[in-house]
Amino acid sequence: MNNYELMVIFTPVLSEEDFKSAQKKYKDFIAEHSGSVVNSNPWGLKSLAYPIQKKTTGIYWVLEYTATADFNEKLKIQLLRDENVLRHMITKLDKYAVEYNAKKRSGVTTGTEKVEA
């Protein structure tokens, strides 16, 4: 099992219920294919750096999960078929990234926090 991080930008016209059901759909899809969700982090509505499909904002969602190497191709197909998804990116995490994410979730200082003066 490898560790991965999925970032998805959903269309900004989704309602809160639709956004939650889309999150649940992909979490269930991972569980069905013998993967496990480590952490889910909905960022909410953010401005895009450039327009995508004539939209200037998108709903961001970051999901950390573990799965087999061949699973990502199946997930990619599902994401490309979903018309509510503007963009997605799957990143394989090394042991240092997994450790960093765990520290960040638990509140331990990682050395990258902004210092307020």
Q: Residues in the chain, how many?
A: 117
Residue 69, domain member (yes or no): yes
Residue 111, domain member (yes or no): no
pLDDT of residue 73: 93
CA 73 to chain CA centroid, Å, is 16
Average pLDDT, the chain: 90
Question: What are phi and psi for residue 68, nearest 5 degrees?
Answer: -75, 165
Q: Quick check: 27 pLDDT over 90?
A: yes
Residue 45, domain member (yes or no): yes
- Output the CA–CA distances (angstroms, integers) from residue 22 to 14, 18, 43, 72, 75, in the order listed: 10, 6, 14, 17, 13
pLDDT digit string, tens, across residues 94-115? 999 988 888 888 877 766 666 6
The CATH number for 29's domain is: 3.30.70.60
Domain count, the chain: 1
Domain span including residue 69: 2-103
Residue 113 per-residue DSSP state: S
The number of helices, as runs of H, and strands, as runs of E, in the chain is 3, 4
pLDDT digit string, tens, across residues 42-81? 999 999 999 999 999 999 999 999 999 899 999 999 999 9
CB 5 within 8 A of CB 91: yes
